[in-house]
Amino acid sequence: MKLDKNKILEKVAHHKTPFYLYNLTLLEETLETAKKAAKKYNYHVHYALKANCDERVLNLISQSGFGADCVSGNEILKAIETGFSKENIAFAGVGKTDDEINIGLDNDIFTFNCESIQEIEVINELAAKKGKIAPIALRINPNVNANTHKYITTGLEENKFGINRWEFEKVIQVIQNASNIKLKGLHFHIGSQIVDLSAYRSLCIKVNEIQNWFVENHILLEHINVGGGLGIDYYQPDINPIVDFEGFFAIFNDFLELQPHQELHFELGRALVATMGDLITKVLYIKNGQRTNFAITDAGMTELIRPALYQAYHKIDNVSKQDETSDQFYDVVGPICESSDCFGKRVKLPLTERGDILAIRCAGAYGEVMANNYNLREKAEVVFIQ
């Protein structure tokens, strides 16, 4: 889907920059494609709310029939408020507080994805107080490399996430002695922005091995949850606005050995919402640096922290220049008092001037949700286009 520069400029005429611009048509098309691809294998997809919590976005996703994957009590409440059904809410997170566990218990959610022995014991105690049986899944650390940025790698033994292989016997003992929890499944999540899909093949092979251990120990599991992490094409969002969901699900169909009647669940965030969002910003100044020219924008790392935090690439387009060739280089930087406040170095753009509008692409996932008000900045508005 090509960037419609005129539509963006129309919005700029009525809204203060910077703002997030969400394309609801692209979102709907993405949801439809994902839904169709998952249906082929009867797979269940939970949307990972952490990627984008905007209400209109959540309403559309819940209306499309997705479940929810939450990492806080507030996300659980938000999911319910925006129409996700309680029995399709998975609750993950390595540090759930007692209050948050109680929110999950009160709402009879699908599952608590448990990450440590102590957490299982606490959930059991809290469920007992309420006279309930908490459905749990064990989040297993499979020690599989996702080949992505180290800050968003989660499935290696060195990471804080999940239960390691050497703890299985102890965990099972704890579960057998806990009368207010019921083990329903196994959960995995190896990382985010995964574009080397062979990592998922490795995950499937690991899940098969782990599942065999449970079968040998006569432990039946109703579901396997392989998490999310499917990456998008940040380099060519116009050519690949929607990821290859079919190819992604086919890997699991080909390599994962499910038990009879066992359900397979996914928790996709970025792949559903990243490309539908752009961060629209105005160039405040052009400044000639020693080695480069700076285009200084009114958006900063406060609106999109990904480049500063993960050295992430986001394509940048000059919306004000319609058909001019990009033959100038700029470091596109924000106004925040940090040198890491840089959206891109040596970005090729047409001749760019004060007042030009830039679109920082694929900001729909982990943009608005990670915004902060450092330097006492205002929260950027969200604007929608169809």
Min dist CB 61 to ligand LLP, Å, is: 13
Quote the crossing angle between the two packed helices 55-63 and 73-81, to the nearest 10°. Answer: 70
Identify which of 219, 205, 202 has the alpha carbon closest to the alpha carbon of residue 168. 219
Query: Cβ closer to ligand LLP: 269 or 300?
Result: 269
357 or 367: CB nearest ligand LLP: 367
Q: Are 355 and 283 in contact (CB under 8 A)?
A: yes
Q: Cis omega before residue 260 (within 30°)?
A: no
- State the pairing for strand pair 134-139/293-297: unpaired
Give the nearer residue to ligand LLP in terms of CB position, either 92 or 242. 92
Chain residues that interact with ligand LLP, rule: CB under 6 A: 48, 50-51, 69, 92, 152, 154, 189, 192-193, 227-230, 267-271, 306, 310, 366
The residue (of 92 and 105) whose beta carbon lies closer to ligand LLP is: 92
Q: How far is the CB of 139 from ligand LLP (least distance, A)?
A: 7
The CA distance from 294 to 328, in Å, is 11
Name the amino acid, one letter, at 106: D
Task: Pick the closer one to ligand LLP by CB: 284 or 370.
Answer: 370
Q: How do beta strands 328-333 and 342-349 pair? A: antiparallel
Yes or no: say if 200 and 252 are a contact pair by the CB < 8 Å rule: yes
Smallest gap from Cβ 196 to ligand LLP, in A, equals 14
**Whose structure tokens read 């990592």?**
199
Q: In whole angstroms, give the CA distance from residue 26 to residue 24.
A: 5
Shortest spacing between CB 322 and ligand LLP, in angstroms? 31
133, 182 in Cβ contact below 8 A? yes
- The residue of the chain with the least Cβ separation from ligand LLP equals 269
Least Cβ distance, residue 69 to ligand LLP (angstroms): 5
Taking the least distance from each CB to ligand LLP, the nearer of 69 and 233 is 69
- Closer Cβ to ligand LLP, 192 or 302, answer by number: 192
Task: Report the alpha-carbon distance of residue 386 to residue 13 in Å, rounded.
Answer: 17
What is the nearest approach in angstroms of ligand LLP to the Cβ of residue 152?
Answer: 5
Report the C-alpha gap between 292 and 226 in whole angstroms.
45
User: Least Å distance between CB 149 and ligand LLP?
Assistant: 7
